[in-house]
């Protein structure tokens, strides 16, 4: 069964450092997303991406965040200068259509010290 894959599974970084989280969406999906979940809190939308551009973003997705699809398979989330409050699980998801079912990767846990 096709799945969304994410790397790394866990990253520890120092405050102020740049972090890149990587995702390989399901191959025939056209819509890509990043969500995050702070420990004990709800899943929060960050950004959606379609046709090589951002289609929607939330208030959380400020200038410190960026997304890119550098090639035909990878979808990346960059945090330019991490803050303590960026510590969370970051989930990548993809879907065939919108609005539609999201298929999530296993997540990348980011710990900012």
Partner 1 sequence: RKEVEQDPGPFNVPEGATVAFNCTYSNSASQSFFWYRQDCRKEPKLLMSVYSSGNEDGRFTAQLNRASQYISLLIRDSKLSDSATYLCVVNGDAGNMLTFGGGTRLMVKP
Q: What does the binding site for partner 1 look like in residue numbers (CB under 8 A)?
A: 31, 35, 41-45, 48, 55-56, 58, 89, 91, 98-107
**What Rg value do the Cα atoms of the chain yield, rounded?**
13
- Cβ atoms < 10 Å from Cβ of 15: 13
User: Of 75 and 103, which has the nearer Cβ to partner 1?
Assistant: 103
Helix and strand element counts for the chain (H, E): 0, 11
User: Of 14 and 42, which has the nearer Cβ to partner 1?
Assistant: 42
User: Of 13 and 44, which has the nearer Cβ to partner 1?
Assistant: 44
At its nearest, how many Å lie between partner 1 and the CB of residue 91?
6
Q: For 22, how many CA atoms within 13 A lie in the half-sphere containing its CB?
A: 7
Q: Does residue 99 have a cis bond before it (omega within 30 degrees)?
A: yes
Q: Which residue has the tokens 């970051």?
A: 90
User: Of 8 and 100, which has the nearer Cβ to partner 1?
Assistant: 100
At its nearest, how many Å lie between partner 1 and the CB of residue 86?
18
At its nearest, how many Å lie between partner 1 and the CB of residue 56?
5
At its nearest, how many Å lie between partner 1 and the CB of residue 16?
27
The SS3 assignment for 85 reads helix
């Amino acid at each position: 069964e096709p799945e969304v894959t994410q790397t790394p599974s866990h990253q520890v970084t120092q405050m102020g450092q740049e972090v890149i989280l990587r995702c390989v969406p399901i191959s025939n999906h056209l819509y890509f997303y990043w969500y995050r979940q702070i420990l004990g809190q709800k899943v929060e939308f960050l950004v959606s991406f379609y046709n090589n551009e951002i289609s929607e973003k939330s208030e959380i997705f400020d200038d410190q965040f960026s997304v890119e699809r550098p090639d035909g398979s990878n979808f990346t989330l960059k945090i330019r200068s991490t803050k303590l409050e960026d510590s969370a699980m970051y989930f990548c998801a993809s879907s065939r259509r919108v609005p539609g079912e999201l298929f999530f990767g296993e997540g990348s846990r980011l710990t900012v010290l």
